[in-house]
Amino acid sequence: MNENVRNPSEDTVIRAENLDLTFETTDGPVHALKGVSLDIQRGDFVSFIGPSGCGKTTFLRCIAALETPAGGTLTVNGMTPEQARKSRAYGYVFQAAGLYPWRTIAGNIKLPLEIMGFSRDEQEQRVKNVLQLVDLEGFGGKYPWQLSGGMQQRASIARALAFDAEILLMDEPFGALDEIVRDHLNEQLLALWARTGKTIGFVTHSIPEAVYLSTRIVVMSPRPGRITDVIESPLPKERPLDIRDSQAFLEVAHRVREGLRAGHSYDD
Amino acid sequence: MTVLYGALAFWLAAWGVNTILARSRWSDLRAVRIFVPVLFGFTLLVLWQGLVRGLDVSPVILPAPTDIAATFANETDTLWVDFVQTVLKGALTGYLLGCSVGFLTALLIDRSAFLTAGLLPVGNFVAALPIIGIAPILVSWFGFDWHSKAAVVVVMVFFPVLVNVVQGLKETDPMQRDLMRTYGATYGQTLMKLRLPAAMPFVFNGLKIATTLALIGAIVAEYFGSPIRGMGFRISTGVGSLNIPLVWAEITVAAAVGTTLYGLVALIEKIVTFWHPSQRV
Amino acid sequence: MRKTFPVITVLLVITAIWYLGSWRMNTPWALQQAARAEQTLTTGELFKATMQQDRPRLPAPHQVVSELWKSTGAMVQRGKAFSKRSLIYHGAITLGSTLTGFALGVFIGILGAVAITYSRVMEMSLMPWAIVSQTIPIVALAPMIIVLSNAVGIESRAVPKAIISAYLCYFPVLVGMVKGLNSPGTEQLDLLKTYNAGVAASFFKLRLPASMPYLFTSLKIAIAAALVGTIVGELPTGAISGLGARILIGDQFGTPLAIWAALFAAAILAGVLVTLLGLAQGLVLKRMGMAR
């Protein structure tokens, strides 16, 4: 298991060792996470992939201190997740954009800035910057319900980027969008990552998406939720969309598929 | 009798016009949407006039709309005095006080999940009760003047507002609350930036219910004792002395005030909750 | 248990506050009486004196409960359940007009909803007025309706009371049923169209069953509104029977205990009626496979 944990170095941003988490439900206990260990380095783009119930979202929520693991240790930037949350170490993007309908796009992006006590001028400046980053210049004055689903999700990414946290955690951010919009947003996300050098944790259930985006792909399987494979992507950092037809891409995708199948075999 | 037939003919004609308008391609125009119900209402008045005049109904039983209008014009002084006493002093004071207290109480109990769980069912039940029945008790506590009327209104509007605000504050979805947590937001920040705005449609629902209740409370409380002015006083004495047209004039004022207050609150609601799907159409 | 515990706690707290209020509000009179009899009261005696006055400003909860028992259970034991001094008699009168008004209001509400669903003229003409009708303080009309129905020769007060009840309770039914009858989606309506189903078939097989959850929700609101309407109808001048009249008479004769007992009886009646409708709702929706 511990081959996922490399030697600790300056560059380790997130470090999980032997995480355990069990939810009590009416149908008995559900082992959401069991013995999960993983290191994430600065600047990594790590995807978590697996069938529903494999704990990928739970793991992300543990990093964000939205859940508390029952066992094991977890550090973010060398702090506990709770401390990291309070020091605003990460931006979180949910599956639904979750923009407040009573605020404009600019108002929504200002929301975390207001809470964190940025000055007025600073707020305006940052809103302008992130709107540019996600290609939404000129839409700051619109209300969320006046925008398409893809644009709303871009706005919610801008909101997560606004306070310039080191880490970006994304929980199936493009899951509700159609394929064409999703391709476009994937391309934009890669460009954004290249420009900002952020560390990204990305939950998805799409194999092509995971392979296209990531430097590392973490394959997980359910009952109990655990890591079955960690794949280092051999793809270059520059990735045009048609890289998806290359031999290297298909090989990685194949390995992910194998990993998913292996995780399933003694279940069904 | 010709008056009656005339009224019936007008009714049929108006109905025809409305039917044609409703089926026409302009039926969604704003002007048409307003004109159709207005014509319908006017038709009812014409029918009323026709029935009373045509069948020679005694004004003691049912005065014609024109009689009521004439009384209204002659008695504006009396009507104004009653309006000030009942609406401005009794109903509005009570409304503002009761709604504020209900709102603040909701904010207070919201901090405790236990209190919320306990008070919500109790509040829901009390909101459905004929609370108006405590009017005589409050009149005996606070005297005959408008203070007792305002007190009745406070008690009547308190529960609907309380229940709606508490319900509204529960209306955010878990994802939005998680988002606030990832920002490390405090209770106050989450309340001001997320939960209160999200609760506004419910708050206004409570405020709208309360407008009608406020007028009912202020008027009925006057049946149990009042100085010699006020809408409820005038209605109950008017019925006794068979001054029926004056009673109808008071009812007209009550109806107009009720509709205006409700409309005013609905207008503010439209401005505040412009973002809500029900207001966007 | 997890649900009832907070509710019971809240009720206990309310009772405690009530006792505190009785004690404070009845103190002046108790002191006055003591002064007149040239006695001085210890704190304990004073507290006791505030809890057992005949005409307290705020009767203590146990006084109300015992008054309620005296005018119901105790009368039954003496075989006078329907004597004119029994709240069971007055409750039955109120219940009668409530149910009459409720039936009338529900009938009008459903009829209106069907008309609005199927006729655009009706929707455009009626709907705004239905809303306006609810912003009018109808109780202002209560004495009027009574005079009017007397003048046209209706002696019984049950009719005007029922009219007021119906006026208050038709609206929730109308709104709920309009929502319910329009709740089937376009796909479901289109499916029936592919069967070439007529208006009657689509009404009875789709719209009406689909509206049942909405109907019951609004019925529960409507029955409470109907009770409020009846009691309001009993309040103004001259009524002699019914819970509202007991409140009025209690006021005229200065017997607060009678007022509070009648108020409690009305609350109990409301609770019973809403609970019964809730049970009916559970039963019907379960039979129809709609229970949640």
Please tell me the distance from the alpha carbon of residue A45 to that of residue A202, in angstroms, as a whole number: 7
Predicted local confidence at residue A236, as pLDDT: 84
Domain residue extents for chain C: 4-58, 87-287
Cβ neighbours of A89 (radius 10 Å):
24
Report whether pLDDT(A131) > 80: yes
B250, B231 in Cβ contact below 8 A?
A: yes
Enumerate residues 30 to 59 of chain C having a beta carbon within 8 A of any beta carbon in chain B. 57
Record: contact B280-A145, CB cut-off 8 A: yes
Q: List the single best residue of B223, B243, B250, B262 to mutate versus C (max C Cβ within 10 A).
A: B223
Categorize the per-residue pLDDT at C81 as very low, low, confident or very high, splitting at 50, 70 and 90. Answer: low
Categorize the per-residue pLDDT at B157 as very low, low, confident or very high, splitting at 50, 70 and 90. Answer: very high
Report whether pLDDT(C136) > 60: yes
Residues of B in contact with C172 (CB under 8 A): none
Predicted local confidence at residue C67, as pLDDT: 83
Residues of B in contact with C115 (CB under 8 A): none
Tens digit of pLDDT for each residue in A78-111?
Answer: 888 888 888 888 889 988 888 888 889 999 999 8
Report whether pLDDT(C292) > 80: no
Record: contact B181-A100, CB cut-off 8 A: no
**Could you say which of B189, B197, B280 has the minimum Cβ distance to residue A100?**
B197
Strands (E), chain A: 12-25, 28-41, 45-49, 71-76, 90-93, 167-171, 199-204, 216-221, 226-232
Report whether pLDDT(A141) > 50: yes
Report whether pLDDT(A8) > 70: no
> Structure tokens of B169?
């504050």
Instruction: Reduce the DSSP state of residue A70 to 3 states and report it.
Output: coil
In the CATH hierarchy, which top-level class contains the domain A2-89+168-265?
alpha beta
Average pLDDT over residues B201-216: 89
In the CATH hierarchy, which top-level class contains the domain C87-287?
mainly alpha
Average pLDDT over residues A27-53: 87
Categorize the per-residue pLDDT at C106 as very low, low, confident or very high, splitting at 50, 70 and 90. Answer: very high
**Could you say which of C7, C135, C256 has the minimum Cβ distance to residue B259?**
C135
- A111 in reach of chain B (CB within 8 A): yes
Chain A nearest-CA residue for B196: A102
Average pLDDT over residues A134-145: 88
Please tell me the distance from the alpha carbon of residue C186 to that of residue C176, in angstroms, as a whole number: 19
Chain B nearest-CA residue for A88: B183
Predicted local confidence at residue B44, as pLDDT: 87
Region of poorest pLDDT, from A38-42, A138-142, C138-142, C219-223 = C138-142
Average pLDDT over residues A54-76: 88
Categorize the per-residue pLDDT at C139 as very low, low, confident or very high, splitting at 50, 70 and 90. Answer: low
Average pLDDT over residues B115-133: 84
Per cent of chain B over pLDDT 70 is 99
**Could you say which of C7, C121, C147 has the minimum Cβ distance to residue B122?**
C7
ipTM, 2 dp: 0.80
Predicted local confidence at residue A2, as pLDDT: 47
Predicted local confidence at residue A260, as pLDDT: 85
Chains C and A contact (Cβ–Cβ under 8 Å for 3 or more pairs): no
Residues of B in contact with A105 (CB under 8 A): none
Nearest to C140 by CA among B258, A247, B90: B258
Task: Write the DSSP assignment of A169-204 as a string of letters.
Answer: EEESTTTTS-HHHHHHHHHHHHHHHHHH--EEEEEE
How many residues are present in chain C? 292
Q: How far apart are the first and last CA of chain A?
A: 24
Chains C and B contact (Cβ–Cβ under 8 Å for 3 or more pairs): yes
Tens digit of pLDDT for each residue in B62-96?
Answer: 888 888 899 888 888 888 988 888 888 889 999 99
Beta-bridge partner residues of A12: A41
Tens digit of pLDDT for each residue in C206-247?
Answer: 888 888 888 888 898 899 889 988 888 887 656 678 888 888
What are the residue ranges of CATH 3.40.50.300 in chain A?
2-89+168-265
Predicted local confidence at residue A264, as pLDDT: 63
Predicted local confidence at residue A1, as pLDDT: 41
Average pLDDT over residues C159-179: 87
Which range, A172-186, B169-183, C93-107, has the best average confidence (pLDDT)? Answer: C93-107
Predicted local confidence at residue A52, as pLDDT: 81
Record: contact B235-C132, CB cut-off 8 A: no
Q: What is the pTM for the complete model shown? A: 0.82
Predicted local confidence at residue A121, as pLDDT: 92
- C136 in reach of chain B (CB within 8 A): yes
